[in-house]
A and B are shown apart, each in its own frame.
Chain A
Amino acid sequence: MTFSYYPGCTLKTKGKDLETYAIKSAEVLGVTMEELEDWQCCGAVYPMAKNEIATKLSSVRALVAARDKGQDLLTLCSACHHVIKRVNNDMANDQNVQLKANNYMALDVPYTGETTVIHYLEMLRDRVGFDNLKKAVVNPLKGVKIAAYYGCMLLRPSKTMAFDDAENPTIMEDFIKAIGATPVVYPYRNECCGGYVAMENNAYATKKCNTICTSAKEMGADMIITACPLCMYNLDANTTENNLPVLYFTQLLARALGVEEDAQ
């Protein structure tokens, strides 16, 4: 299985762990991640304004590159996944965005949302299969109680993201079960961590993160996993009460597959 892979800005810098464990684990599972050449930053937030076009073009470039290679586009960072998937939806369904983006890019073949955007977790669930993942696990994380943190980006708006049930998701819990650990369900797993306000209003983000971590801890979690570098930062650095270790889900994947050391 080979995918075009879009890493995004943070995975090459502060969020290296998310990527390195992902690539190493993918190899074990027979998945090749071919990084797109000359990818550009997706902008990290989806431009909601209907009259915003330029800020969507970097996503369109990635989508077109994957289409031209005849591959599905694999994402890893929640924010990149959110932005690219929603822009793809615009390219398929919003005639204004479609027309203007195509006019601007002057492609040989116009792009109308043909590429399938798939998140690494979806790839594990829908392409590899959690049953097969379970079989590949050499180091099951027995007894570890893990709280999955979904945040906003992967789930909402569910009509476009179609990732999982936005209010009661199970994909990360199923992942946790597949690597032999015990999922801990807590009510704030899909509540915002404060995201980009962390930059200028730390105290505000702290309030949000404390609610999340306290809830996870009360429900008996030993650690939290996430798929987003910004969530990781917030839950790690901006939490002041009931801190729990926060890990990228790919690190636990690599650990379960026995390649955690190799990845480093």
Chain B
Amino acid sequence: MSHNKETLREIVIETAGINPRKCMKCGKCSGACPAYDEMEYHPHQFVSMVEAGKIEELMNSEAIYMCLSCFACVERCPRGVEPASFIEAARLALIRQSGKNHLKAEEIPAKLNDKLPQQAIVSAFRKYSK
């Protein structure tokens, strides 16, 4: 299943439930983000790229797996824009497609260790697979 640019944009905005136009481009999200250095697109760019309809670029980025969902950007945004919700929406736009899971069940055994809590497996699955 593939969508055209405008439909993808609409899907992502609907999934996030946030109006990207509320952003005033202050960059506080990216100033707060603890994952900044791991991402090629940063939280403020997620908002402006969604607004500009550049969803494919976000879906193909590494950044969607680097967001820690720590909600620092959500907490500190003065405009009620939730960059993390856009990152989640972009990731979902990808992994909700058949065969596009980022984490596959067969990869799990190799990643296990004695101390690893169940919570880590469950949450990684929830974030990376559908």
Contact = CB atoms under 8 A, between A and B. Distances in A.
A and B touch in the complex (CB under 8 A): yes
B38 A166 contact: no
Contact of A156 (B16, B74, B119): B74
A116 interface: no
A14 B117 contact: yes
A220 interface: no
B70 A152 contact: yes
Contacts of A194: 68
Contacts of A195: 68-70, 123
Nearest to A47: B126
A41 interface: yes
Given A50-B16, A50-B17, A196-B127, A9 B120 contact: no
Interface stretch (B2-10, B21-29, B45-53, B84-92): B84-92
Interface string B63-98: 001101111101100000010110011001000000
A242 interface: no
Contacts, number: 127
B119 A44 contact: yes
Contact of B88 (A8, A44, A48, A236): A48
B19 interface: no
Contacts of A52: 92
A180 interface: no
B68 A192 contact: yes
B15 A230 contact: no
A9 B72 CA distance: 26
A79 B118 CA distance: 12
Contacts of B113: 237
Given A55-B126, A156-B75, A166-B75, A10 B118 contact: yes
Interface residues of A, number: 43
B109 to A, nearest CB: 12
Interface in A194-247: 194-200, 204, 208, 229-230, 232-233, 236-237
Nearest to A196: B123
Given A199-B111, A200-B124, A230-B123, A157 B117 contact: no
A264 interface: no
B122 A44 contact: yes
Contacts of B89: 48-49
A114 interface: no
6 contacts: A44-B122, A195-B123, A197-B65, A200-B107, A236-B115, A237-B116
Interface of B: 14-17, 34-35, 38, 65-66, 68-72, 74-75, 82, 84-85, 88-89, 92, 103, 107, 111, 113, 115-124, 126-128
Given A15-B119, A167-B75, A204-B38, 6 more contacts: A44-B123, A156-B72, A191-B72, A198-B120, A199-B124, A200-B107
